[in-house]
Chains A and B, each alone.
Chain A
Amino acid sequence: MKILCVCGLGQGSSLILRMNVENVLRGMGVQADVEHTDVSSASSTKADYIVTNRELAESLTNASAKIIIVNNYFDVEEIKKALKENLS
């Protein structure tokens, strides 16, 4: 399973999101390949899931991956809930 964490530039916020997503997955006992990238690369990168916020999700309509929305990148509980609801 491959998960992409996406922000506008692929430098700051996506890295924060990736660290939190990795922590949550570890807690859930889920094995996944988690990467972070910018919004323009994301549409052309193969992945099973993309984690990002509402603003950027709108520009990711070409991506084939399932999109998981997270509004608060620092809220581990919200990330956990979003991942649990969407990962199959």
Chain B
Amino acid sequence: MKFLEENIVSLHAKAATPVEAIVQAGSLLQKQGYVSGAYVDAMINSYRKNGPYFVLAPQIALPHARPEDGVYEASVSMVQLAEPVSFGNSANDPVRLVFALGASNSEEHLAVLKKLMDLLSDRKRVESLIAASSYKDIETLIRKGGEEG
């Protein structure tokens, strides 16, 4: 399981459109070999087909596709956007954080989702993720969750 490790977190990223933001988050996983290029394409296709439903909470997008689209390891990357991007989700726009989810069929998939829920259900920690200026800040926030939960 790979969860927001330094090489799959990008801070102060610039993206002009939802697709650019999704590609950046997906590419972080692809570069490390956790998902295939086809998986990143499938995330984009899902957005085009189903719309921005994966903007699951204010400022938070969680693009993903199906395990069979090409996931090698259960994983979550994060792109922190320097400028907010509107995804077209009236309730939760604009987006500041994009988490690409490498959804696997394994037990690890559940474990990854639980970690993510733990982190993102705490509004204070979400605000801190948006404001983080270095990976050290992110690391502290993740560790904090582990200790509490």
Q: How many residues of A contact B (CB 8 A)?
A: 22
* Other-chain residue from A7, A8, A9, A54 in contact with B91 (beta carbon distance below 8 A): A54
* Other-chain residue from A12, A15, A39 in contact with B50 (beta carbon distance below 8 A): A39
Contact with B along A44-76 (1 / 0, CB 8 A): 000000001111100000000000000111111
A47 to B64, CA, bound (A): 26
Q: How many residues of B contact A (CB 8 A)?
A: 30
Are B92 and A7 in touch, CB under 8 angstroms?
A: no
A15 partner residues in chain B, CB cutoff 8 A: 109-110, 113
In chain B, what residue has the closest Cβ to A23?
B117
In chain A, what residue has the closest Cβ to B76?
A12
Are B53 and A56 in touch, CB under 8 angstroms?
A: yes
Taking the closest CB of chain B, its distance from the CB of A75, in whole angstroms, is 7
Stretch among B2-10, B22-30, B54-62, B140-148 lining the A interface: B54-62
A54 partner residues in chain B, CB cutoff 8 A: 90-91
B65 CB–A CB distance under 8 Å: yes
